Amino acid sequence: MTPRERRAPHTAVIVGTRGLEAFDPGLFEDRESVRLILVCTALDEPHLTEDQRGWFESVHVVAASQPEPEPLLAAQVDADAATAVVAELLRDTPAAELTVHCYLEQNLLGAARVRERLGLAGPRPADIVPFLDKLVMKQRVAAAGVRVPVYGPWEAERHRAGAERYFAELTALVGLPFVLKPTDSAGSNGVLFVHSYQDFAALPADGELGRPYEYEEYIAGTIYSVNIVSARGRTVFGGVTEYLVNSAEVAGGRVNADINLLDEDPRVARMVAFADRALDALGRPDGASHLELFRTEADELVFLEVGARFKGMSGLAAMQRHYGRALVNLAFEIESGVPSRPYEGEQAYCFDACLPLQAGVVSTLVEPELESSYEMRWTVAPGQRVEQTADLLTVGGTFLVWNHDFDALARDFERLTAYRPFTYA
């Protein structure tokens, strides 16, 4: 093909920096076949490395969705501002040659709005809402015969009318303890556990929790993450990780780790099939999905929640290394049509962990004692005053552990049960 005959490059707009750590444009079969554009907020831009900045033809820093966003929403772009950037690109780019990509939960709906407003391919808001609204999510999944916890919408007016009566009604439905969680959040942000009437009575007297909430049956069991990449309604990649602790234990200082299971483990095929049923019920979009479920002592699988995105970045890095798959490139190829070569990094069995904080002044950073190789990424320092971790996003660091011997890696995973990463003054 002569230079004159060469097609114009495909334009791919990525909303937010999330996912770039595990993305590798160097794997594109033809690097000249695509131009990358980044849209992000001013609070998100500092996460962009100089190497990553070099991937993009242009970086557009736009307004955040709120003037002074809380940390969870710091990377959420204003949909109107993002639409304006993409509309300008469409002045010299056919809509069929432009795609919008997003790997952060908080920007999924905004990216879908951009696509809908400008007539672009990819998930629209109606496709994304079932993955964001936990009530809609469970309604659809339960209708397909998938076991979900007993749940329902939190009704502030019933709490105001009589807290004791409302508590009795809820506990008759779901027992004790039970869970209150925002219907529109991620990373366990805002989740409350009610163990007694004293906990319930401590809620605001007017019953207003600041955002829409649901109540949910507490499921005792081990949590697993099922990670899927889909294309045209079918699974093209499926993997399962096992969590070390229930997320409810993280605020108490337990390390939040999850280990990638071997493909031949009999739990994997069963859990991927379970996730497939849930995704089909929700109208699975192309690209990444991340579903969490419980496995009870009675060996029952119970749906927890699902997102139309990859799991956290440290977990995604562990997955890519464990499976030897460039998973973000795979999702990007499905969404854009731009092909990549296979993963070129070292393959090794792998897991990741997040380090929870307790309130106080950090005294020392404690390295884990492991057989395997590991890499720490501390985000706090000795002498720093910190608040207690209240979700899975506010942590004091992450680390990656790898080994070519899976049994040794599994022993290290279990060792983390007693590991406490910080001492406090």
Q: Provide the residue ranges of all domains of the chain, joining segments of one domain with +.
A: 10-122, 151-217, 348-425
Query: Which ranges of the chain have pLDDT less than 50?
Result: 1-6
Backbone angles phi, psi at 50, to 5 degrees: -65, -35
Tokens at residue 64, please? 């955040």
Residues composing the chain: 425
CA-nearest of 368, 366, 378, 364 to 425 is: 364
Q: What are residue 10's phi and psi, to 5 degrees?
A: -70, 140
The per-residue pLDDT for 170 is 95
264's CB contacts (< 8 A; 6+ apart) are: none
Q: What angle do CA 332, 333, 339 make, to 5 degrees?
A: 135
Give which of 26, 211, 73 is closest to 134, Cα–Cα: 211
> Which fold would CATH assign to domain 348-425?
Aldehyde Oxidoreductase; domain 3 (3.90.1170)
pLDDT of residue 251: 62
Please check whether residue 369 is in contact with residue 421, taking contact to mean a CB–CB distance below 8 angstroms. no
Q: How many whole angstroms separate alpha carbon 80 and alpha carbon 195?
A: 43
Task: Give the integer Cα–Cα distance in Å for 248 and 75.
Answer: 25
What does the DSSP assignment read for 150-165?
-EEE--HHHHHH-HHH
Token pair listed for 214: 């649901």
Nearest-CA neighbor of 328 among 272, 336, 381? 336
pLDDT confidence of residue 254:
80
CA distance 11 to 95: 9
User: For residue 369, which phi and psi values (nearest 5 degrees)?
Assistant: -100, 105
The answer, yes or no, to whether the previous bond of 204 is cis (omega within 30 of 0) is no
Surface-to-core class of residue 133, CB atoms within 10 Å of its CB (0-12 exposed, 13-18 middle, 19+ buried): middle
What pLDDT is recorded for position 384? 95
Structure tokens at 305: 């929640």
Domain covering 151-217, topology: Dna Ligase; domain 1 (3.30.1490)
Tell me which architecture the domain covering 10-122 has in CATH: 3-Layer(aba) Sandwich (3.40)
Distance, CA of 280 to CA of 150 (rounded, Å): 21
Task: Tell me the HSE value of 423 on the side-chain side, using a 13 A CA sphere.
Answer: 6
Helix 134-143 to helix 125-132 angle (10° resolution) is 90
CA neighbours within 13 Å on the CB side: how many for 5? Answer: 2
Q: Locate 82 and state its tokens.
A: 């993002």
Q: In this structure, what are the phi and psi dihedrals at residue 150, rounded to the nearest 5 degrees?
A: -65, 135
pLDDT of residue 234: 96
**Identical fold at 10-122 and 151-217?**
no
